[in-house]
Amino acid sequence: MPSPPKSDKPWLFRTYAGHSTAAESNKLFRANLEKGQTGLSVAFDLPTQTGYDPDHPLARGEVGKVGVPVSHIGDMRALFEAIPLATMNTSMTINATAAWLLALYVAVADEQGVPRDQLSGTTQNDIIKEYLSRGTHVFPPKPSLKLTTDTISFSASDLPKWNPMNVCSYHLQEAGATPVQELAYALATAIAVLDAAKREVSAAAFPEVVGRISFFVNAGIRFITEMCKMRAFTELWDEICREHYGITNEKFRRFRYGVQVNSLGLTEQQPENNVYRILLEMLAVVLSKNARARAVQLPAWNEALGLPRAWDQQWSLRMQQIVAYETDLLDYADIFEGSKEITAKVESLKTEARAELQHILSLGGAIPAIETGYMKHALVQANTERLKAIERGDTKLVGVNIFTSTETSPLSAGDEEKVLAVSENIEFEQIEKLKSWRATRDRKVVAASLAVLREAAEAGRNIMEPSIACAKAGVTTGEWGETLRQVFGEFRAPTGVLLIMDEQPEKSLEVIRARVKHLAQELGKTPTFLMAKPGLDGHSNGAEQIAVRAADCGLEVTYEGIRLTPEQIVATAKEKKITLIGLSILSGSHVPLIRDVMNRLRQAGLDNIPVVVGGIIPHEDSHVLKQLGVARVYTPKDFDLNIIMNDLVDLMETRVSN
């Protein structure tokens, strides 16, 4: 009898995790590993991602909310306590401060006695997509790119198993990118990084540097298109490695990628349907052997409601394990090889992506395309079209714009906690721990190590070894970030908001425009709308779309981008005589930040300005916000922007009549 076919090894099973404190996150990591997870994927909180300590004014309300706070090597020790770094594959979602977090990780490994050449894992380290979609950039593009290449050249010499940079197209899709844009922008990013890295490593080492570049992608619900996108990625990357860089070794041309499937399409309405969406999206990246993901992490069914609990993450992990171990998927060669339909779709995507990539390269590459705002504007336009298709019903979402009647879900009914809540005491506790940390370290050693770091940055030398020395000296995340801010400066990216009018608006939009014109006559000026993002949350997609639609309705819109303090928001409202304020927060810090904004408005005598809020806001928090004086609260279920615009005009009319 013939022997049974040899099964492929499954991909790495991950869940994206981290919250509250390093100690609590460590418990979660160890519990997930005991359940069969085979790699770690670390989520850091926004102050850590943007280089601030917990006691910085911009960190208010953000500590421990969307990930774990890591302020110094003590936190990194606690995060990986009893987890052997020699055998663990660790992915860290960190970008602007990637060099620092990698330095802390290496410093802890040194303490554990782990040889650096045994460390395996990935630092996301894709700063370009931060300017486009996620908003946790710190420094201007050119010095940011230098920090990335510093980690690449350091890894080439010291961390041969480490992926120092993970080209991340995931967030591009979350920002509305089409499959073609996702392909072209990610490949343009990889070219920009490798062109820069080529100048810093030897010719002999460069092929291995190319081989260590990995990708982190998104897979949406149109899983045939998404699967074809992954095959196109694989073939285009091989083409670029051969033709652009002359890489002859097939091993170094291999397209290696991890994936988290789409969170953008998860719905607050009938959230139990998200289980099916997540499964179908996962199939896009595991069905095709020739373009199969090396690591998969899945969102939880309730992510549109708030921070998932441990049980919710377990459910997503079990989904992966069932597909890998209970089905026969891994027993077969590529089941799509030779398909005319698949081949035609892949070739179509490749042709369009090549054209868009060439256009970006004609502009000078990804960095100039960031600085001019070209790519950001294109993403905003694509997202605008995506939302309009949902509003028109051209894109159908079950439970959202079709089949909306529903039975009560036992998963989201009842009084028990449906999502994980992070206590507001966490911030106070982290600040107190930080004070104790600062008091017990050797200040002279700290100052000396920071001076060496500054000198290396100013001279354009590699900052990795100085950063590791800073980590061992007890330097904090905020001190490291501030030192480099003083050398490189900070960057405010173009918002990408196109304040233009739709020349052929639908009837409902014409009605809103007429209402705005009438309101302008009563006010004696065009009504003014301030769209603002307080705190460190950089996910600006929703805020941008609200700003675009408000301008399309005829409102005078002020949108100054991300990362504003409550003080700045109130000052702008006073200076520009704002008629209505919109606040957008997706990080879970809505209650403390909005409380601060509302208090400052009252102190400034501006509490007559209506305030509306949007974000991932649990139902019980909506009541809290309304008690603070917020007029309307919008969550992901509110997908029809014209309904929101009508609400805004209602509020402004009420203010005028009063």
Mean pLDDT computed over 501-523: 83
Q: What is the pLDDT of residue 414?
A: 58
Residue pointed to by tokens 């230098």: 146
Q: What is the pLDDT of residue 2?
A: 45
DSSP string over 560-584: --S-B-HHHHHHHHHHTT-SEEEEE
Six-digit token string for 188: 């343009």
Q: Is 4's pLDDT higher than 70?
A: no
How many Å apart are CA 341 and CA 283, to the nearest integer? 18
User: Residue 27 CB: number of other CB atoms within 10 A?
Assistant: 13
User: Is residue 94 left, alpha or beta, with left meaning phi > 0 and alpha meaning psi from -120 to 50?
Assistant: beta
638 annotated active-site: no
Q: Is 319's pLDDT higher than 90?
A: yes
Mean pLDDT computed over 18-44: 88
Q: What is the pLDDT of residue 56?
A: 95
Mean pLDDT computed over 416-433: 80
Residue pointed to by tokens 């490695």: 241
Q: Is 516's pLDDT higher than 90?
A: yes
User: Residue 241 CB: number of other CB atoms within 10 A?
Assistant: 24
533 annotated active-site: yes
114 in Cβ contact with 142 (< 8 Å): no
Consecutive H or E run containing 60: none
Q: What is the pLDDT of residue 533?
A: 94
266 in Cβ contact with 305 (< 8 Å): no
User: Is residue 18 left, alpha or beta, with left meaning phi > 0 and alpha meaning psi from -120 to 50?
Assistant: left
Amino acid, single-letter form, for residue 439: A
User: Residue 365 CB: number of other CB atoms within 10 A?
Assistant: 16
198 annotated active-site: no
Q: What is the pLDDT of residue 1?
A: 42
DSSP state of 298: -
121 in Cβ contact with 92 (< 8 Å): yes
370 in Cβ contact with 197 (< 8 Å): no
Reported as a pLDDT band with limits 50, 70 and 90, residue 49 is: very high
Domain limits, the chain? 12-392, 507-657
| 12-392 fold | TIM Barrel (3.20.20)
pLDDT in tens, 63-91: 998 899 999 999 999 999 999 899 999 99
Q: What is the mean pLDDT of the chain?
A: 91
Active site residue: 171, 229, 418, 433, which one? 171
Q: What is the pLDDT of residue 371?
A: 87
167 in Cβ contact with 216 (< 8 Å): yes
Q: Is 3's pLDDT higher than 60?
A: no
Six-digit token string for 575: 């200076």
Strand partners, 261: 219
Mean pLDDT computed over 527-545: 91
Query: What would you report as the CA-atom Rg of the chain, rounded to the nearest whole angstrom?
Result: 25
How many Å apart are CA 45 and CA 23, to the nearest integer? 14
- C-alpha dihedral sign at 320, 325, 326, 331: positive
Q: What is the pLDDT of residue 500?
A: 52
Residue pointed to by tokens 């904004």: 597
Strand partners, 398: 402
Active site residue: 229, 350, 533, 590, which one? 533
Largest pairwise CA distance in the chain:
89
634 annotated active-site: no
Burial tier of 285 (Cβ tally within 10 Å: 0-12, 13-18, 19+): buried
Active site residue: 19, 350, 539, 590, which one? 539
pLDDT in tens, 112-135: 999 999 999 999 999 999 998 888
Q: What is the pLDDT of residue 290?
A: 92
| Residues whose CB is less than 8 angstroms from the CB of residue 507 and which lie 6 or more positions away in sequence, other chains included | none
DSSP string over 110-142: HHHT--GGG-EEEE---HHHIIIII----S-HH
28 in Cβ contact with 19 (< 8 Å): yes
| 507-657 fold | Rossmann fold (3.40.50)
Active site residue: 105, 170, 245, 559, which one? 170
Identify the weakest region by mean pLDDT among 92-101, 372-381, 497-506: 497-506
pLDDT in tens, 607-621: 999 999 999 898 889
Its pTM stands at 0.85
How many Å apart are CA 231 and CA 658, to the nearest integer? 60
How many Å apart are CA 210 and CA 253, to the nearest integer? 7
45 annotated active-site: no
Six-digit token string for 251: 């091993």
Reported as a pLDDT band with limits 50, 70 and 90, residue 468 is: very high
Mean pLDDT computed over 435-441: 96
631 in Cβ contact with 597 (< 8 Å): no
Identify the weakest region by mean pLDDT among 277-286, 295-304, 576-585: 295-304
- Backbone torsions φ then ψ of 622, nearest 5 degrees: -60, -40
537 annotated active-site: yes
Domains 12-392 and 507-657 share a fold: no
Q: What is the pLDDT of residue 228?
A: 97
198 in Cβ contact with 206 (< 8 Å): yes
Secondary-structure breakdown of the chain: helix, strand, coil percentages, each rounded to the nearest 5: 55, 10, 35
